[in-house]
Amino acid sequence: MANIKSAKKRAKQAEVRRMRNASQRSMLRSAIKKVVKALEAKDKVAAEAAYKAAEPVLDRYSSRGLIHKNKASRHKSRLSAHIRALG
């Protein structure tokens, strides 16, 4: 454990950030899974609605650095391609 005051503060900040990142990453994955679940059920309307909700989440967390921007683009591209293929 840290002894210096600044090191204690940094440890506390790191823990807060770790918890926030874990929560946001979980939210991101859940949004993607909702789209995938709708795709598996072959429900295009539900898939489009879930994608509309997931897209801004992907953009938000890629701009904040939680995930790489290329990863967000890849997810959006693949999900939208799957949705188009349902039609």
The pLDDT, as a whole number, for residue 2 is: 85
The pLDDT, as a whole number, for residue 41 is: 96
State the average pLDDT over residues 24-34. 97
Expressed as residue numbers, the domain containing 47 is: 5-86
Q: Is the pTM of this model over 0.85?
A: yes
Q: How many beta carbons lie within 10 A of that of residue 53, not counting itself?
A: 12
Instruction: Give the tens place of pLDDT for each residue, 35-78.
Output: 999 999 999 999 999 999 999 999 999 999 999 999 999 999 99
Q: What is the CATH number of the domain that holds 48?
A: 1.20.58.110
Total domains present in the chain: 1
Measure Cα distances from 45 to 29, 38, 53 in Å.
Answer: 20, 8, 13
The pLDDT, as a whole number, for residue 87 is: 80
